Amino acid sequence: MSTATQTNITNAESKEWWWVAERERSPRLDYLRKAVWKKGAIGGNYAPGIKVNLERAQLFTESWKENEHDPIMLRKAKALAHYLENKTIFITDQAQLVGYVGTLPNTLEWYPEGASIVNEEVYNEQSVIPEPEKESLELIAEINDYWSGQTAIDKLGRVLDPEDIVKFMSGVIGWGSPTSAYGYSGKDYEYILTGKRGFEDILDDIDANIEAVEKETKGMPGPDILPLYDKLLNWEAMQIILDAVIDYANRYARLAKIIAENFETDPKRRKELLQIAETCERIPAQAPRNLQESFQLDLFIQVIARAEAYEGAWPGRPDYYHGPFYDKDVNIDKRLTKDEALDLVGEFMIRAHEVGMFGPRWTREGLQGITGTWVWTLGGVNQDGTDACNDLTVAFLQAARLVRVSNPTFGFRWHPEVKDEVMRECFECLRHGLGYPSMRNDPVLVENTMYWYGHPIEEARTWVHQACMSPCPTTKHGFQPMRMASATANTVKMVEYALSDGYDRVVSMQMGPKTGDPRNFKDFEELFQAWVQQMEWLMKILVRTVNLGRVKDPEFFGRPFLSAISERSVESGLDAVSPEGERGNCWVTFFTWVENADSLAAVKKLVFDEKKYTMDQLMTALEANWEGYEEMRLDFVRNAPKWGNDDDYVDEIMVRCLREVARHGKEIKCPSGNNWPALPENVSGNIHYASLVGALPNGRRLGDALYDGGISPGPGLDKKGPTAVLKSCAKIDHVKDGRAFLLNQRMSPTQLNGDKGYTMWKSYMKSWADLGLDHVQFNMVDDTTLRSAQKDPEKYQELIVRVAGYSAHFVDISRKTQDNIIQRTVVGL
């Protein structure tokens, strides 16, 4: 046996998979992986050397000032075109794909037109100010002064209800900003990524639309032609940005040629550079012909979408849309070997990983270690219901183990026809400690997508993860162009306010409705009805804000590029964000959810059923943050049923709560007139809100991390094993009770070793599928490794963990988050 193989075996046995990956990946992937600057915040702060990009802010603002009389779409398109024409570009050595969000490899993109409060953070975040610092600060101040009062959020703030905005801005009930400046968009991939068209084809369609409409606007006057004038301007904006992106790609083509012809001495690399030039001369102007061109088109789309707005997620289905090109290049034309294709696949992941945008602090704390939730969707079915897994599905899963990025991660759409070979690849990723793919139950989620919004089955089957969890079609009327993270609720406030007459003791203000002094509650029903009122209030206030933000977005922000790559916008001449023509795909993310059921159950049992304590005693203890009441606190923790133990006492409360939410989710409507189901999950909101939520009857104190999310039991509180957890979760109807339900599970890497481990995992997955759950994701890393990483972080830089709807490098997350993950129960199969 060679030394290298023996070393690999040793590293594998000690679960140091990052050394195995480093040895097994190609020299190109090794270089590219190591060339990336870490953009995710570490414990909320950016790494040393990371700087904010000032070019976009400066160039965008410059053009914006020059075109002040233009309507917003046109003004935006011109500003973006000016940026793309003049921004610094580079080609990473050994790269085959080009395009970067920002300018230099260590920069974060900044969007001064989005929110003044974020602009202030840029100014005050000393570590990201580029050198020379004094001049940079002067420039930032000048830019901030210009935008003050006229950012998208500033404008929205003037039309929102004042009470709503004060409560929303308190930071305790919601998360995110109600603008597409700081949101994330689905994409009409059926229009733009199926290889049928390039940007020149879209320009031809727009030309034809303009010609047809101009005949009308020059014709008989009447009310019908009045809306057409705005459409003409919108189409003009789309033309400007499409031309600008084609020119931007040509800049890369020229740069690649310059390097090849004047500087590159290696013949192999010279050939690659000329290949880049040829690719960028064609893409995105024309449709792709091969895998490199297909990836390049996708990458340009993502880069330019992020030149336009802070896209906090990356909905994608790369194996489905690029799979035909992989098949053509590797299997049919044999233009690429599998290893060469794997290099492209791995690089595509690395290009996504290197993306960085300046995020406000609440983002950095809620998404520790990453810049956005890039959850790529693999597997699933075709529109006709047949298995969509292909060779590229396998290639992505293999590449993931080689490049070991924490972002993007994968969500795998499992269905009963998935081949064992593919399931084994999924398992190997988990066994290598990546924390992904998350496993999604495709039949359940297709039915769910149809149930809540009425998407036709063929469209529902196209679904991708819009962010970490929620399915979104990729079709003309199905894709959602504006998902604002601000439809995200800190739901533990529902039970907190039910127990405080709507008063928030942490921020000292009346937030929710007055639902009664809890000391006077005579029975559980009174408490539960108070909870229902708080729940309805919380959902309403967030959805009101988001709905208004959505309909005002074309007026306050504008998305010319997103519109230009969306069929319904190219046809209609409307901003893609306009609700007109969209079926609706909204949901309210429910952070910090399970504490509601555990707390209600504890009060019901110990106060109302067993009468061991009075409400007055409980409230006194909660108001004291359990200080001096440790024995009582432990009673509420240990002797009240907890979710995840297949105990009907608390499980029925959970289901009852969810069904009230589902009922209300059908009463509140989105701008398209469709429903707002709930989706329990957390990212790292459980840490972000730890100091914003008071003591609770489940036994937590102010400051303790909340549970890790979705419908996951509290750390250490699931005492009856994994089957009990699944059975609890199965009492929820994963189609009708909500949009989707995140479940974290932690498994033993020792127990799940080798073929035997795979067999055990498959058996677990069968139970999961049979019980109709829609989601599960895994950590497979032991305590010893995690504690060693806390002690010697330098030696564990590449250790990855699944936090919640995303993965992160363990050393990049805060100590509190680390301890929270370590204390998750290790389930035995």
Partner 1 sequence: MKCIGCGVEASIKEFRYLYNPRIDASVTLRQCAKCQAWLVVDEMKNEATRIMQAGEDPWGKSAGIENVTQAT
775-779 and 800-802 strand pairing: unpaired
* Cβ distance to partner 1 smaller for residue 259 or 690: 690
Beta carbons within 8 Å of 399's beta carbon, 6+ residues apart: 342, 345, 346, 349
| CA 255 – CA 102 distance, rounded (Å) | 17
| Measured CA distances, 638 to 252, 433, 633 (Å) | 62, 32, 9
DSSP tag of 793: G
Structural contact between residues 734 and 772, judged by C-beta atoms closer than 8 angstroms: yes
Structural contact between residues 447 and 736, judged by C-beta atoms closer than 8 angstroms: no
* Cβ distance to partner 1 smaller for residue 79 or 747: 747
User: CA 121: distance to chain centroid?
Assistant: 22
Of 377, 400, 378, which Cα lies nearest the Cα of 389? 378
* Cβ distance to partner 1 smaller for residue 188 or 718: 718
In the complex, the smallest distance separating the C-beta of residue 18 from partner 1, rounded to whole angstroms, is 19
* Cβ distance to partner 1 smaller for residue 719 or 756: 719
* Cβ distance to partner 1 smaller for residue 620 or 748: 748
* Cβ distance to partner 1 smaller for residue 563 or 745: 745
* Cβ distance to partner 1 smaller for residue 56 or 688: 688
In the complex, the smallest distance separating the C-beta of residue 637 from partner 1, rounded to whole angstroms, is 5
Cα-atom radius of gyration of the chain, to the nearest Å? 26
Beta carbons within 8 Å of 625's beta carbon, 6+ residues apart: 694, 695, 701, 702
* Cβ distance to partner 1 smaller for residue 55 or 819: 819
* Cβ distance to partner 1 smaller for residue 424 or 720: 720
In the complex, the smallest distance separating the C-beta of residue 299 from partner 1, rounded to whole angstroms, is 39
* Cβ distance to partner 1 smaller for residue 291 or 780: 780
In the complex, the smallest distance separating the C-beta of residue 705 from partner 1, rounded to whole angstroms, is 6
* Cβ distance to partner 1 smaller for residue 587 or 643: 643
In the complex, the smallest distance separating the C-beta of residue 729 from partner 1, rounded to whole angstroms, is 17
* Cβ distance to partner 1 smaller for residue 417 or 630: 630
Cβ count within 10 A of residue 264: 18
| CA 758 – CA 751 distance, rounded (Å) | 10
In the complex, the smallest distance separating the C-beta of residue 829 from partner 1, rounded to whole angstroms, is 9
In the complex, the smallest distance separating the C-beta of residue 230 from partner 1, rounded to whole angstroms, is 53
In the complex, the smallest distance separating the C-beta of residue 469 from partner 1, rounded to whole angstroms, is 24
Proportion of the chain in helix, strand, coil states, percent, rounded to 5: 50, 10, 40
Structural contact between residues 78 and 240, judged by C-beta atoms closer than 8 angstroms: yes
| CA 107 – CA 131 distance, rounded (Å) | 12
Residue in the structure block whose two tokens are 């090849």? 260
Provide the binding-site residues for partner 1, judged by CB under 8 A: 625, 627, 630-631, 634, 637-638, 690, 698-705, 714-719, 746, 748, 750-751, 782-783, 787-788, 790-792, 816, 819-820, 822-828
E strands present in 37-115 = 51-52, 107-108
In the complex, the smallest distance separating the C-beta of residue 543 from partner 1, rounded to whole angstroms, is 32
Residue in the structure block whose two tokens are 């959902």? 539
Q: At what angle do helices 338-353 and 27-34 cross, to 10 degrees?
A: 0
In the complex, the smallest distance separating the C-beta of residue 638 from partner 1, rounded to whole angstroms, is 6
- ∠ CA 597-450-367, nearest 5°, is 50
* Cβ distance to partner 1 smaller for residue 185 or 592: 592
Residue in the structure block whose two tokens are 């250790």? 799
In the complex, the smallest distance separating the C-beta of residue 597 from partner 1, rounded to whole angstroms, is 15
In the complex, the smallest distance separating the C-beta of residue 43 from partner 1, rounded to whole angstroms, is 14
Of 233, 247, 114, which Cα lies nearest the Cα of 181? 114
Of 695, 697, 746, which Cα lies nearest the Cα of 721? 746
310-311 and 375-379 strand pairing: unpaired
| CA 47 – CA 143 distance, rounded (Å) | 24
For 534, list phi and psi in degrees, rounded to 5: -65, -40
* Cβ distance to partner 1 smaller for residue 718 or 798: 718
For residues 318-343, one letter each, b for 16 or more C-beta atoms within 10 angstroms of the residue's C-beta and e for the rest, the string is: bbbbbbbbbebbbeeeeebeeebbbb
* Cβ distance to partner 1 smaller for residue 678 or 826: 826
In the complex, the smallest distance separating the C-beta of residue 30 from partner 1, rounded to whole angstroms, is 29
Measured in residues, the chain has a length of 829
Residue 408, preceding peptide bond in cis (omega within 30° of 0): yes
In the complex, the smallest distance separating the C-beta of residue 624 from partner 1, rounded to whole angstroms, is 9
In the complex, the smallest distance separating the C-beta of residue 203 from partner 1, rounded to whole angstroms, is 56
Q: At what angle do helices 199-217 and 226-262 cross, to 10 degrees?
A: 150
Structural contact between residues 396 and 434, judged by C-beta atoms closer than 8 angstroms: no
Cβ count within 10 A of residue 48: 9
In the complex, the smallest distance separating the C-beta of residue 759 from partner 1, rounded to whole angstroms, is 17
E strands present in 622-765 = 678-680, 744-747
* Cβ distance to partner 1 smaller for residue 504 or 782: 782
User: What would the two tokens of residue 50 be?
Assistant: 């990371």
Q: Which helix (H) or strand (E) element contains residue 510?
A: strand 509-510
Beta carbons within 8 Å of 493's beta carbon, 6+ residues apart: 172, 173, 504, 511, 512, 534, 538, 693
* Cβ distance to partner 1 smaller for residue 359 or 641: 641
| CA 361 – CA 107 distance, rounded (Å) | 17
DSSP tag of 87: S
In the complex, the smallest distance separating the C-beta of residue 804 from partner 1, rounded to whole angstroms, is 15
Residue in the structure block whose two tokens are 């504690």? 787
* Cβ distance to partner 1 smaller for residue 111 or 768: 768
In the complex, the smallest distance separating the C-beta of residue 404 from partner 1, rounded to whole angstroms, is 23
In DSSP terms, 591 is beta-bridged to 490
Structural contact between residues 279 and 296, judged by C-beta atoms closer than 8 angstroms: yes
